[in-house]
A and B are shown apart, each in its own frame.
Chain A
Amino acid sequence: MGEFKVHRVRFFDYMPTAIRAMAFNSRTERLAVARTDGALEIFNFADNYFQEKVIPGQDGRAVEALCWVGRRLFSGGLNGEITEYDLENLRPRYTVEAYGGPIWTISGKGTLLAVGCEDGTVKMFEILEQRIQFQRNLDRQKGRIISLSWHPSGSLIAAGMMDMIRIFDAETGRATHRLLVERGVGAPKSKGVVVWSVVFLSDHTIISSDSAGKVQIWDGLTGTLVRTHLVTKWDVLALSVSQDESSLIAGTSEGTVVQFQFISSTVDRQEKDWVRTRTFKNHSHDVRALVHTDTAVVSGGMDTQLVVRPLLDKVEKNTHESAMRKVAFPHRSLVCCAKKAGLLLFQFPDHLELWRLGDSDGHGKPDDILPVKRKPEKLIQLKRKGEDHICCSALSPCGGWLAYSTVTSLRLYRLQNNNISITKVSKLPKDRRSAHQLCFSTDSSKLFASSSNGSVVVVALSQPECRYLHTLKPKSGSRQTVHLLAASEDGKWLATANTDCEIHVYSLGKLTLHCTVPVYSSCPTAMAINPTTSNLVVVHADQQIFEYSLVQKEYTAWSRRLQKQGLHYLWLERDTPITHVAFNPKNPAHIILHDMFMFCIIDQSLPLPEAKNVLYNQMTLRSLPEPERIRHSHAFKICKNFQHLMCVSLLEDHSLVVVERPLLDIMSQLPAPVRQKKFAT
């Protein structure tokens, strides 16, 4: 494996924001997740829950509800605006003011979008080809509309409000029923009960969840209460029902998700009833958003993690599919490391931090902690301009240039490191408004910026002025933006990958398309070009590794051997994607990969592990005598000493930088959880 001096970096105070709303599109198997800072994430459930797309947030865009209509995604927020998103160019397409005060909920059916507002109106918007248009208001009510649910036929709408549920006739706009929800026991009279969520089933059953901790089942035809389930002492914040309406889940402030099923309570009885069946506790804080897919319960909330919990009666037991998934970190790198200068750039939504790594002159045995001679220091904290959050950033390998982009603007800065100074490069080419991914060439002479519709812009960097050189465009019809960029060390190649799983390699000398890597069904999560062999190493969301020779335009022999033999089953069972690929300049056969829980050095010269081999064999190897080791060693050398990794990178002086962010640190900074009494504490 080799020995490295490791910089163990723990000063990246990355703090994810809470999940506020979710919406699942069962046709495309995409989950949209809205966070409290207004950021939107798209997860592909068909491709190992990979976080395909991220639309950065904006100040004041407090997204409160999400809704898919076909392939279009709409959100409503407390700023009173309805936003449709452009999922190809990763930006809001347009916003429409609803003129009803803050929007609490949004729900689509067919070509209509119903919006529940603070002023007590349910507003209907017609979804047109290019935009949405206000159609009419339903009867205005006193008090805010917190939740909405369409009857599957589209003729009725149930609206959850303060202290009651209203049923509207969608055609006439008249309120037909009023279901009064009673206050919790012992609650003060002044504090009304909030109907946080409501679900309208096709048999006219209405299910509501409220702030008194109840899940109530109502008959929507007569407007009578059928059954009350007291679930918690706190609020029941979210509800979701499966598509076949046989199972319902409710998320509470305690962090539990309670499942109800529509079954007959005793074996011999025919009539069915909603019965509380299971309780999941996967969250430490409030569950604010829930989705019931066909096979799993997806939940998210204040503890910022997305949890996918497969239902064991729907999937095969003890398989890869039945394992629980937690997504805690973004599936892309927020850290940029300048290899030559020993600088680290940390990306936050509203600022960037530039740090110089510490230094130590000590020599020690493996596993020793060396004394720090020079402490790491924060050189620059750069606040972003405008109200859009930062979507990507990059630091040049020499540490002399810094670039970041928001949805609306791209900014480039020149850094002087000996006397720390930063100057903005004002003369950027005019039409280079924004970028989705940024990358500097190794000699810091060029900046590559992934632009709209899958094109990549090449900008030449020089001191007084930066010049636009070329736009690289793929020939294929894909309009998805490029989410990965990798430039080769010798400046000859640039590899780009988009979310349609296409990988294009451009020749930078001729500025033309060199070749296209055969399309694999899973999305690339990380890639890099080997500096000595010019082989492109690509890792996909399903954990497969490919090596493609750019000179011969074919997969290398090692890659073919790996595919033939197959990866170790433990490697395939890992549940976080590889987010960074690096190489060891001293040994070209070494590939350094990392995910959230481990980093791995793949030695291409060693035999591949077979299924009967132990994958994590570092400890056993150490205990063996020297000559025996060779017989037992295999290509995958995995280190789990450092946990919850944000970045692993190799510096030019052959020392390893490991950026950690322990989940415990994140957890200790979260907002207040509910107070639960535990026996004997």
Chain B
Amino acid sequence: MAKKQRGRTASSSKTETQTDSFSLMLESSDDEAPEEMTFEDSKTAAIRSMKQALETARREKELLKEKRRKRQELFQEQKKRKLLPADVLEEIDSALSKKQQQTEGEAAEEEEEGRKKRRRRDKRGHGREVSGNCTVTTVKERASASSQQQAAEDFLRSRLYGPGSCRTTSNEMLSLQNKTGRNKSAAVKFVKEDWACEEKAKAEKLRKRWIHEQQIPSC
């Protein structure tokens, strides 16, 4: 992606330079009165300008190549720096093999113990102990678990209460019960509290403004 972009910018700059040179030529020809020119002259001039353009393109390409090479070198350098020196690596390798030999030599019981320890370490869950007091835990897995839970709950809700589930409100059910029941009584909920919220808020605002306006002339 980055490389592509880089290529694109390079090519665009190239075209720019070309157009620049053309425009320069045009300008020069625009300012002065037309001069007489032989075909040869114009041809050489054209060839020269072409050559120039080619040259610049080549130079740019080379520059780019150089840049890439340098980058590559830098990366390699960094990689090397990250790796431990070869002698250290060798040392570790030898130590490991020694340990293995040791464990192989030891009795089976101890091996089992070690396994237990490892298991215990596994049991600690996502956490892994680094030196000292700090622990490293994976955050992502838990997040995915909760998102899965959310998805499962959404599935349940959509199946039971989603579109096509033919639901009504408890208030309507209660009023129906009241209608069909033996002794009729007042409705459980007279007022729809969530009815026309915006209008109510607007009215309240207007009322406040009106009171405010009324007060100003009086004082």
**Chain A interface (Cβ < 8 Å from any Cβ of B):** 60, 62, 78-80, 101-102, 104, 118, 144, 187-188, 191, 194, 211, 233-235, 253, 284, 286, 664, 667-676, 678, 681
Contact A672 B176 (CB under 8 A): no
- For A77, the closest partner residue in chain B by CB is B149
Q: Mark B163-178, 1 if CB is under 8 A from A, else 0.
A: 0111111111110100
Contact A673 B149 (CB under 8 A): no
Chain B residues contacting A80 (CB-CB under 8 Å) are 145, 148-149
Whether A102 contacts B152 in the complex (CB less than 8 A), given A234-B165, A235-B160, A286-B160, comes out as yes
Closest CB in chain A relative to B148 CB, distance in Å: 5
Contact A664 B174 (CB under 8 A): yes
Closest CB in chain A relative to B198 CB, distance in Å: 24
Chain B residues contacting A664 (CB-CB under 8 Å) are 174, 188
Whether A672 contacts B152 in the complex (CB less than 8 A), given A60-B146, A233-B166, A284-B173, comes out as no
Partner of B176, one of A191, A233, A681: A681
Closest CB in chain A relative to B151 CB, distance in Å: 8
Contact B145 A675 (CB under 8 A): no
Contact A234 B145 (CB under 8 A): no
Whether A668 contacts B171 in the complex (CB less than 8 A), given A102-B148, A681-B179, comes out as yes
Closest 5 CB pairs of A and B: A102-B152, A672-B167, A675-B168, A78-B149, A101-B148
B120 at the interface (CB under 8 A from A): no
B111 at the interface (CB under 8 A from A): no
B80 at the interface (CB under 8 A from A): no
Chain A residues contacting B179 (CB-CB under 8 Å) are 678, 681
B65 at the interface (CB under 8 A from A): no
Q: Mark B137-160, 1 if CB is under 8 A from A, else 0.
A: 000000001101101110000011
Contact A118 B160 (CB under 8 A): no
Given contacts A80-B145, A675-B167, could you give 7 more A-B pairs where the C-beta distance is less than 8 Å? A79-B145, A80-B148, A101-B145, A144-B152, A284-B173, A672-B167, A674-B165
Contact A668 B149 (CB under 8 A): no
B42 at the interface (CB under 8 A from A): no
Alpha-carbon distance A668/B145, docked complex (angstroms): 34
Contact B159 A194 (CB under 8 A): yes
Alpha-carbon distance A102/B189, docked complex (angstroms): 38
Q: Which of B164-207 contact A (CB under 8 A)?
A: 164-174, 176, 179-180, 188-189
Closest CB in chain A relative to B182 CB, distance in Å: 15
B161 at the interface (CB under 8 A from A): yes
Partner of B149, one of A102, A188, A235, A284: A102
Partner of B188, one of A101, A188, A286, A668: A668
Alpha-carbon distance A675/B169, docked complex (angstroms): 8
Contact A191 B164 (CB under 8 A): yes
Chain A residues contacting B170 (CB-CB under 8 Å) are 284, 667-673
Alpha-carbon distance A664/B164, docked complex (angstroms): 28
Alpha-carbon distance A667/B146, docked complex (angstroms): 31
Contact A79 B159 (CB under 8 A): no
Chain B residues contacting A101 (CB-CB under 8 Å) are 145, 148, 152
What's the count of A-B pairs with C-beta under 8 Å?
75
Chain B residues contacting A678 (CB-CB under 8 Å) are 176, 179-180
- For A666, the closest partner residue in chain B by CB is B170
Q: Which of B170, B176, B179, B180 is the most central at the interface, judged by chain A CB atoms within 10 Å of its CB?
A: B170
Contact B166 A675 (CB under 8 A): yes
Chain A residues contacting B173 (CB-CB under 8 Å) are 284, 673
**Chain B interface (Cβ < 8 Å from any Cβ of A):** 145-146, 148-149, 151-153, 159-161, 164-174, 176, 179-180, 188-189
Alpha-carbon distance A679/B164, docked complex (angstroms): 22
Chain B residues contacting A102 (CB-CB under 8 Å) are 148-149, 151-152
Chain A residues contacting B169 (CB-CB under 8 Å) are 672
Contact A188 B164 (CB under 8 A): yes
Whether A62 contacts B153 in the complex (CB less than 8 A), given A211-B159, A668-B174, comes out as yes
Alpha-carbon distance A534/B185, docked complex (angstroms): 48
Closest CB in chain B relative to A101 CB, distance in Å: 5
Chosen A-B contacts, 10 in total, with CB atoms closer than 8 Å, are A78-B153, A102-B149, A102-B151, A234-B166, A667-B170, A670-B170, A674-B166, A674-B167, A675-B172, A678-B176
- For A662, the closest partner residue in chain B by CB is B188
Chain A residues contacting B180 (CB-CB under 8 Å) are 678, 681
Contact A667 B174 (CB under 8 A): yes
Main SS class of interface, A: loop
Chain A residues contacting B151 (CB-CB under 8 Å) are 102
Chain B residues contacting A233 (CB-CB under 8 Å) are 166
Contact A672 B161 (CB under 8 A): yes
Alpha-carbon distance A187/B164, docked complex (angstroms): 9
Q: Which of A104, A188, A667 is the most central at the interface, judged by chain B CB atoms within 10 Å of its CB?
A: A667
Closest CB in chain B relative to A59 CB, distance in Å: 11
Q: Which of B152, B159, B164 is the most central at the interface, judged by chain A CB atoms within 10 Å of its CB?
A: B152
Whether A671 contacts B149 in the complex (CB less than 8 A), given A284-B173, A664-B188, A681-B176, comes out as no
Alpha-carbon distance A80/B153, docked complex (angstroms): 12
- For B180, the closest partner residue in chain A by CB is A678
Chain A residues contacting B165 (CB-CB under 8 Å) are 234, 674
Contact B149 A79 (CB under 8 A): yes
- For B145, the closest partner residue in chain A by CB is A80
Chain A residues contacting B171 (CB-CB under 8 Å) are 668
Chain B residues contacting A674 (CB-CB under 8 Å) are 165-168
- For B177, the closest partner residue in chain A by CB is A284
Chain A residues contacting B160 (CB-CB under 8 Å) are 235, 253, 286
Closest CB in chain A relative to B153 CB, distance in Å: 6
Contact B159 A62 (CB under 8 A): no
Alpha-carbon distance A194/B174, docked complex (angstroms): 30
Alpha-carbon distance A60/B148, docked complex (angstroms): 12
Closest CB in chain B relative to A300 CB, distance in Å: 16
- For B157, the closest partner residue in chain A by CB is A671
Q: Which of A144, A188, A668 is the most central at the interface, judged by chain B CB atoms within 10 Å of its CB?
A: A668
- For B169, the closest partner residue in chain A by CB is A672
Alpha-carbon distance A284/B168, docked complex (angstroms): 12
Partner of A78, one of B152, B159, B172, B176: B152
Contact B159 A235 (CB under 8 A): yes
Alpha-carbon distance A286/B159, docked complex (angstroms): 13
Partner of B148, one of A118, A234, A235: A118
Closest CB in chain A relative to B155 CB, distance in Å: 8
Alpha-carbon distance A79/B161, docked complex (angstroms): 21
Chain A residues contacting B167 (CB-CB under 8 Å) are 672-675
Chain A residues contacting B164 (CB-CB under 8 Å) are 187-188, 191
Partner of B161, one of A211, A668, A670, A671: A671
Chain B residues contacting A78 (CB-CB under 8 Å) are 149, 152-153
- For B179, the closest partner residue in chain A by CB is A681
- For A675, the closest partner residue in chain B by CB is B168
Alpha-carbon distance A233/B169, docked complex (angstroms): 18
Whether A60 contacts B149 in the complex (CB less than 8 A), given A194-B159, A668-B171, comes out as yes
Chain A residues contacting B172 (CB-CB under 8 Å) are 675
Alpha-carbon distance A194/B155, docked complex (angstroms): 11
- For B158, the closest partner residue in chain A by CB is A191
Chain A residues contacting B176 (CB-CB under 8 Å) are 676, 678, 681
Q: Which of B165, B171, B180 is the most central at the interface, judged by chain A CB atoms within 10 Å of its CB?
A: B165
Closest CB in chain A relative to B191 CB, distance in Å: 12
- For B185, the closest partner residue in chain A by CB is A664
Alpha-carbon distance A102/B150, docked complex (angstroms): 9
Chain B residues contacting A60 (CB-CB under 8 Å) are 146, 149
Chain B residues contacting A681 (CB-CB under 8 Å) are 176, 179-180
Chain B residues contacting A191 (CB-CB under 8 Å) are 164
Alpha-carbon distance A188/B163, docked complex (angstroms): 11
